[in-house]
Amino acid sequence: MYTTAAAERLRVVADHLAPQPEARKTTGAMSGAPLTSHVLDTANGRPARGLLITFFRKRQDDWVCIKSSETNADGRCSGFLRRDDFTADIYKMRFDTADYFHRMGQRSFYPYVEIVFEVLQPEQHYHVPLILSRFGYSTYRGS
């Protein structure tokens, strides 16, 4: 049986993973963005607030930094680039997990997480979520 704290953490994470009703859909800076991200700290049962994400585009054998931004109070981040600048290409998102966990007085086995992905249809929306704990992570192409 789950303790009350564990049950609450599971509820928070489940709420964030569940499809959002129309009224809760992201608005403002997130709406219309071609690329968004969402980081959930599953070990602590909350969104990963203030986690630095750096966004890159592949150029020949190197990576060109496009923008760095921090996740908001809900663990979400967008505004990496404008729709006109979002082209078919290979991109990378680097999540600074060590600093995030350090601010909570914890250490992480992974000092950072890099997710490399290919955009084939830039007219579509791309959502790159990160499900995170101190000793593991998972990602997928979200909606």
Q: The domain that contains 129 carries what CATH number? A: 2.60.40.180
Assess if residue 36 is contained within a domain.
Answer: no
63 CB-side CA count, 13 A: 15
Assess if residue 58 is contained within a domain.
Answer: yes
Assess if residue 41 is contained within a domain.
Answer: no
- Give the tens place of pLDDT for each residue, 22-57: 433 443 334 589 999 999 999 999 999 999 999 999
Assess if residue 79 is contained within a domain.
Answer: yes
Residue 81 belongs to domain spanning: 51-143
Assess if residue 15 is contained within a domain.
Answer: no
Assess if residue 37 is contained within a domain.
Answer: no
Average pLDDT, the chain: 87
With 0.75 as the threshold, say if the pTM is over it. Answer: yes
Name the domain count of the chain: 1
Assess if residue 27 is contained within a domain.
Answer: no
Confidence (pLDDT) at 32: 80
Assess if residue 43 is contained within a domain.
Answer: no
Instruction: For 10-125, list the strands marked E by DSSP.
Output: 35-41, 46-47, 52-59, 62-70, 76-77, 89-95, 113-119
